[in-house]
Each structure stands twice: as C-alpha cells, then as structure tokens.
Amino acid sequence: MGKIWLGCSGWDYRDWADVFYKSTDKSRLSAYSRVFNTAEINSTFYSYPDPGMAFGWAKFTPPDFKFAVKLNRLITHEKRLDISKGVEDDLKRFLELMKPLKDTGKLACILIQLPPGMKFGKDRIEEFIRILPANLHFALEYRNETWLTDEAHNLLSDYDVATVIVDGPLLSPEFRLTSDIAYVRWHGRGEKMWYNYRYSKDELAAWMPKLKEMSQNTDVYGYFNNHYHGYAPENCLDMLDMLGVATSQQKEARHGITDHWKGRAVKKPVIKTLSDFLGQDKKDDIPTLLIGFIEHSRMEKAREIKDIEIIESGSDRIIADVKGYSVYIDLEKRFILHDCPDWKRTIRERRLCKHIGALVLALPEDRARMVLENIKRQQWELSQYTGRGETY
C-alpha cells in the first residue's frame, strides 16, 4: 500500500496572506510545512538556485517533509533535452545543487516539464532519459498530443520515469503508471488563465477513485498549481479531507480559510470579448490599446492562448510563463526580455509577439493599461532572452 502526498506548487505567494498565512508567520515555508508534508518547487525552473538555498529548504521543514523540484528551463525549454548542447553537464550542475535535499531524504522527485510545442521524438528523449541517475525519481510532463502513444509511455516505463497526470485544459488526464511513483498536477481549468481557478467539491471528488486506486501499489505525489487567491491550499485541504487523511492541523487551516472568505464574494475570472468593450463610453479598452503594438494576426493568436502563469506582478516588474516561454517586463528600467522564436522577428519592427499580447490580455485591466501606456510614452528596450539559466 502506497502513501498519498498532497501539497501545492510553491508556497511564497503574496495573495495567500490572510487567506492561508497569518500576519505573525515569519517564515512562509515553516508555516506551510506545519500544514502540508510536501511541496513542489517551481522557482528552480526559472533560475538555478543559490548554493545554500537547498540547505535552507531542508533546514526549515520537518524531517518527514518531501520536495518535488522542477528542472531548470535551460535544459527543457532552451536546449530541449538535446545532449549535443551540453545538457548532461547542466543536469549534473542542477542535481548537485539539490544534494542537501537528497542527503536529508527530502527529495521526492525531479519534475521535467516540456514546452507545449515539443513533440515526441524517441531518439532524443531516450538519449536524455538514459543519463538520468537511477537513484532518483523523475517525472515527465509532456504538453503535446504526439506523446499520447504506447511507444512514448513504454519508453518512459523502460527507464522508470513517471508520466505526469495533469488536470488542465490542454490535454485530458492520461492515467498511465510508468514508474514506481505516480505524479499528479492540478493546474486549474480557468478559461482565461488556467491557474486562476477554484475547483468545486464535485470536481475534486471525481479524483477520489483514481487516487485510491493508484495508491494501492505506489506512492502518489500530487500538487495544486491553481495558486491564485489561495485556491491551491484550499483545494488541497479539501482533497485531503475527502480522502479521510486530513490531520487536525489541516482541518484547522481549512476552517481558517473558510472564516477568511465568510461574508466575502469570491471573485470569479471575468472573461470579456472585444464586443463587450465596443460601445463603452470611456477611454480605449485594452484590446484597442494593444492593436497599436501588435499585428492583427498575432492579436487573434494571442486571444487563443490560455496557458499563462503570472509568477510575479509587482510595482517594478512582471514575470510570467506563457505557453512555455518566459516573459520578463521591467517597468523601472524599461525593458522586456522574452524567448519565443517570433519575438526575434517582431522586435526588429518594435512590435509585440502573440505571447506578450496574451500576457497583457490576461493582466487586470488597470495593470495592463499602465504597462501599455508606459511603453507607448517612453523608449523601451526589447531584447531576446538568450538563456544562461540565471535570468530571473
């Protein structure tokens, strides 16, 4: 009989304050780990952590706590697992930084998330997974339908790499066990932004039979990535309660979230089309403003993009992942870094690409307006992110 480990994708979110964290909590990781026994680390995808970072993660969590760590995008998105581009050295460097977690028994798994456009290619994938150390668990999250074959899953099974089971709009969940662990990610089902989504009790209950079935033979690691407004800890605690394994501390935390929302209307994402804006007697709406920065065809494609994760939206910068590509907008220093192939072409014309267009459309209206008007008023530097694994 395996064990079900459930937690959240990250723990350091500003909008979890008061919802999940108390004002007296000095360390969010310490507070988080008093409630949950596992967490997924996403920050390692955007940059290699400082050498002492993993020591801190190990030090400030209980002895039985487990981390899943997301592999750096230099390996997955920029070099696309290509051995000829030196990813073996990149992997060794990454795993060396994770050694404090491994040595303390806190490293549950390394998550390998591929870009949506990366199709299954047996030779390249096998060359990469062949170099993965056998003494660590790895889970692979594909986001392209070419992976939905027996050949792909058999290959992962041959090398004991778990297939990530995903709840999200891109692909239907594939309940394939290809390793001695199971790995599940709940991204959310938001129409505008996946992660801005609150699962209903019925939607969570539908997962109960599968989770129980998988845990009959293997450990199950599951993480909620719908982090907006504290929905992730709320839904995770609901799931633990439904499974009948919620601790008294977890039940107390869930009551705290209920008390926070009591008497407040939970905001639902508002989806507006261009026709909703037409006829409104006020200053230009966001799509109209955006047309001044982006070609019509790219604008239409931008509207279709749903895979948007806003990592940080502060007063001086915005960091986001849009369909597997990174966007870094520095409002203070007035520059944009981005790494999609189309961006290289559009910056010559001082135009925005579909990914940045999609990000702007996903931002709150006042925030999007501020960004566009700021860019319009002043000279900005538009640059291509070259990818050394250290930016962000």
What digits encode the pLDDT tens for the residues 267-305? Answer: 555 444 433 433 444 456 888 888 888 988 999 999 988
- Residue where a domain terminates, one of 261, 293, 312: 261
- Return the CATH number at 78: 3.20.20.410
User: Tell me, what's the pLDDT at 315?
Assistant: 72
The answer on 312 and 232 residing in a single domain is: no
- Rounded to whole angstroms, the Cα distance separating 215 from 302 reads 40
**DSSP bridge partners of 40:** 9, 68
Q: What is the pLDDT of residue 283?
A: 57
Residue 47 belongs to domain spanning: 4-261
Domain boundary among 233, 261, 289: 261
Q: Residue 153: inside a domain, yes or no?
A: yes
* pLDDT of 184 above 90: yes
215 with 363, same domain? Answer: no
Examine the domain organization and report whether 145 and 214 are in the same domain.
yes
Task: Name the domain count of the chain.
Answer: 2
| Cβ proximity of 168 and 188 under 8 Å | yes
Residue type, 80: R
pLDDT tens-digit readout, 122-136: 999 999 999 999 999
Structure tokens at 15: 């909008």
pLDDT at site 179: 97
Q: What is the pLDDT of residues 61-104, one digit of tens each?
A: 999 999 999 999 999 988 999 999 999 999 999 999 999 999 99
Calpha distance 193→171 (Å, rounded): 15
Q: Based on the domain organization, do 140 and 285 belong to the same domain?
A: no
Question: Which tens digit of pLDDT belongs to each residue from 362-385?
Answer: 888 888 888 888 887 677 888 776
Mark whether 349 and 304 lie in a shared domain.
yes
With a cut of 60, say whether residue 330 has pLDDT above it.
Answer: yes
Mean pLDDT estimate for the chain? 88
Mean pLDDT calculated for residue range 204-224: 96
pLDDT score at 273: 42
Indicate the burial class of 151 (C-beta count within 10 angstroms; 0-12, 13-18, 19 or more).
exposed
Q: How many residues does the chain have?
A: 392
The verdict on 43 and 160 lying in the same domain is: yes
Query: Mapping DSSP to helix (H, G, I), strand (E, B) and coil, where does residue 163 land?
Result: strand
8 is written with which tokens? 């959240």
261, 287, 313 - which closes a domain = 261
| 199 belongs to a structural domain | yes
pTM, rounded to two decimals: 0.79
Same domain, 192 and 97: yes
Could you give phi then psi for residue 202, rounded to 5 degrees? -65, -40
Q: Which residues pair with 38 in a beta bridge?
A: 66
For 47-61, how does the pLDDT look when each residue is reduced to its tens digit (9 = 90+)? Answer: 899 989 999 999 999
Same domain, 360 and 214: no
Looking at the domain assignment, is residue 392 inside a domain? no
Is residue 55 located within the same domain as residue 142? yes
**Is residue 314, in this structure, part of any structural domain at all?**
yes
CA–chain centroid gap for 266, Å, is 22
**Measured CA distances, 126 to 13, 81, 88, 120, 121 (Å):** 36, 10, 13, 10, 8
The residues facing 383 across adjacent strands are 337
Rounded CA gap, 333 and 317, in Å?
Answer: 9
